[in-house]
Amino acid sequence: MPVRAPTILEPQWYLNKEVRQGDMGITNQDTTADRLKLAYFSMEWRDQLELKQKVGKTYFMVSKAFWDVLEGIMHLLEIIKITADYINVMLKLASYLIFYAMAEVATKDMCGYCFDTLAKNFDGKLNLIPPSFENKDYPIFVTWHKAGRLRGCIGTFSPMPLHDGLKEYALVASLQDHRFRPVTAQEVPQLDVTVSLMHSFEPCSAWNDWEVRIIL
């Protein structure tokens, strides 16, 4: 019988062969111990192969599960971002709606009431016409301008009734703003007045924690 070359299941160091001279030429005969070793090695190799296959399959399943979880997290983060953007847009929209609602509250009648109050201060004979606007509570600022230049501006961030608040700060802003000399009776026809009603206050973390915006 020809001598067999060792295979992957039969490594050279596991073979203990008796080679003898016979009538048929050189023969290669495995001993019983050799066959047991080969059988054990073959079984061990198959077990290792099956184990590697199982480990590889398990690794693939774990990897796929990991990427599925990661993809789910990314989708969740995207949904959260979209939701946050939507909430931010809705808050800005609500702020604009409040602004326009408040803009309707600050009327020309309020400005006229400030002028009447200032005129009566110089001429006590004038009758102050009762205001026609509602007497709601708002933080108030009254600003006077002359020829486009600031002439006085004072107000309060504490809400107060419009009737009393405008009467008070129309005089305080025109006569007690220490940055300017008091307004005189002769200047009244040259003045412009602005009434500002504060709204939508929100907490801040520092004095400069605010955003400059132009609302059209």
Q: Running DSSP on this structure, what letter comes out for residue 133?
A: S
Residue 18 token pair: 């008796």
Domain of residue 63, residue span: 1-105
User: Which of 30-39, 120-129, 162-171 tops mean pLDDT?
Assistant: 162-171
- Provide the total of helices (H) and of strands (E) in the chain, helices listed first: 3, 5
Q: How far apart are CA 199 and CA 82, in angstroms?
A: 28
Residue 213 covered by a domain: no
Q: Which of 71, 105, 139 is the last residue of a domain?
A: 105
Question: What band does 19 get if pLDDT is binned at 50, 70 and 90?
Answer: very low
Give the CATH number, domain containing residue 157. 3.30.700.20
Same domain, 75 and 155: no
Same domain, 117 and 192: yes
pLDDT in tens, 76-105: 888 887 887 778 777 777 766 666 655 557
Residue 203 token pair: 């907490």
Q: Which of 62, 88, 105 is the last residue of a domain?
A: 105
Q: pTM of whole model > 0.85?
A: no
Same domain, 2 and 68: yes
Please list, residue by residue across 4-33, b when 16 or more beta carbons sit within 10 angstroms of its beta carbon and e when fewer do. eeeeeebeeeeeeeeeeeeeeeeeeebeee
> Which one is predicted more confidently, 166 or 63?
166
